[in-house]
Chain A
Amino acid sequence: MKGSLSKVPISKEWDIVGARQTGRNIAKELGFGSVNQARIATTISELARNIYLYTEYGEISFEEVCEKTKVGLKIIATDSGPGIKDISRVMEDGYSTSGGLGAGLPGVKRLMDEFDVESNGDGTKITVIMWLR
């Protein structure tokens, strides 16, 4: 079983809050504990903020993923922005082009169980999964 649960468009700063709220509710429904809910909410916040800061428009979508023995929440952040030029730089701690902390993407990688980023000139797609234990 694999199902798309929800989709939130990101174009304004307050959309970040909307996406976070949606994600937190979904995580609660799937049975994640409060610590993991906070991790998921933080992850969504980071991904959505990247969309808001660096691109015009993007989307955060939520899916339930099932493998043989485990269930998880998959969050996909897509945008049609300029793309990430140097992915390995972005994944380094402390690298930021916007004067921030530069902990966003590497932090998200540590917060979640699985992390994948694809990027080219037409946009960026970041997929993260947290498994329910």
Chain B
Amino acid sequence: MNPEYKDILLDYSDEIIKKWMDDLEDNKLKEYKSTVSNELIEQVNREFVNLIFSKLKDGVNYESLEQFSERIVNLGWPLAYLTEGMQSFRSICIRTILEQIDNKDEAFFLEVMDDVNNWVDPIKNQLINEYSNNWNNIISLQKVALQELSVPLIPVMEGITVMPLVGTIDTDRAKLIMENLLDGVIKSRAEVVLIDITGVPVVDTMVAHHIVQAAEAVRLIGSTCILVGIRPEIAQTIVNLGIDLSRFPTKSSLKKGFEKALEMTNRDIVNVKEKDADIIDDMVQSIDKE
């Protein structure tokens, strides 16, 4: 950068900062005013402008740029704050230099513009990159979090395991379902696995295909799969699509599926209270007989 311009910018830095702050005050962050205090906005603005000027003085410090954009993300401010802020900063700087040097030459004008751009653009790009990196980090963390609650396998009783599926099933999840299902069946020695699709919004051919495959794999390792939680509208779409689910039992609700699973593992639900009552009845009757 031309040292002459640099001196002008440094000499007038207070004025530029003031103008820029006024500009930002007018345009941006209006919708945030209600939730964010003015002091915070002013503090961040000041940090922002100091960052830009520090680059002019002694070269760019990437760490501080990184920290700053991380701060903007954490505050939840929009990307527009960075881009618009840099744009208005640039135009103010160009105007200041042009005002100070009285030269209406076109070449001179272009030179000033190029110089200022060369100074401001790398900072802007860096900030935007950092900003989007921060967002990407957040998204990948959430993806991991989502995956953790993706396909739980719950052993409810010896030999009976339930896998409730909630939400959309995409290719990644379908793979996880298959792996977890087979692992879980072996580990818990389940004879019957109930796959509950009450929480799956749409069963299309791909979802059905994955469920059929999973059930088939479970059959191969010697257990039985029961598909439960088929809502009436899902039943209709499955029939319309012509999907064949006849190779394993299906039930409308988890309750019915569980009863079926008990039956398959030779068990029965017995009401204890009633039995007690029966015994008492018997006793009363036998006393009566005496």
Contact = CB atoms under 8 A, between A and B. Distances in A.
Interface of A: 13-14, 16-17, 20, 34-35, 37-39, 41-42, 45-46, 49, 93, 100-104, 106-108, 110-111
Contacts, number: 69
B54 to A, nearest CB: 40
B241 A38 contact: no
Contacts of B212: 101
Contact of A111 (B168, B170, B232, B240): B240
A35 B233 CA distance: 5
Contact of A107 (B168, B170, B205): B205
Contact of B243 (A35, A38, A101): A101
B208 interface: yes
Given A17-B168, A93-B242, A42 B203 contact: yes
Given A35-B236, A107-B240, A110-B240, A42 B206 contact: no
A106 B242 contact: yes
Given A101-B243, A103-B242, A107-B240, A34 B202 contact: no
Given A17-B168, A35-B233, A103 B243 contact: yes
A102 B243 CA distance: 9
Q: Pick the most buried of A17, A45, A110, A111: most chain B CB atoms within 10 A of its CB.
A: A45
Interface in B236-272: 236-237, 240-243
B234 interface: yes
B286 to A, nearest CB: 57
A38 B171 contact: no
Contacts of A46: 204-205, 241
Given A14-B170, A101-B243, A39 B205 contact: no
28 contacts: A13-B170, A14-B170, A20-B202, A35-B236, A38-B236, A39-B240, A41-B202, A42-B202, A42-B204, A42-B241, A45-B204, A46-B204, A46-B205, A49-B205, A49-B206, A100-B206, A101-B205, A101-B209, A103-B208, A103-B241, A104-B204, A104-B205, A107-B205, A107-B240, A107-B242, A110-B241, A111-B237, A111-B241
Interface residues of B, number: 21
B199 interface: no
B201 interface: yes
A35 B232 contact: yes
A47 to B, nearest CB: 10
A14 B242 CA distance: 25
B12 to A, nearest CB: 47
Nearest to A37: B233
B205 A103 contact: yes
Contact of A38 (B168, B206, B209, B237): B237
Q: Pick the most buried of B205, B212, B242: most chain A CB atoms within 10 A of its CB.
A: B205
A38 B204 contact: no
Contacts of A41: 201-202
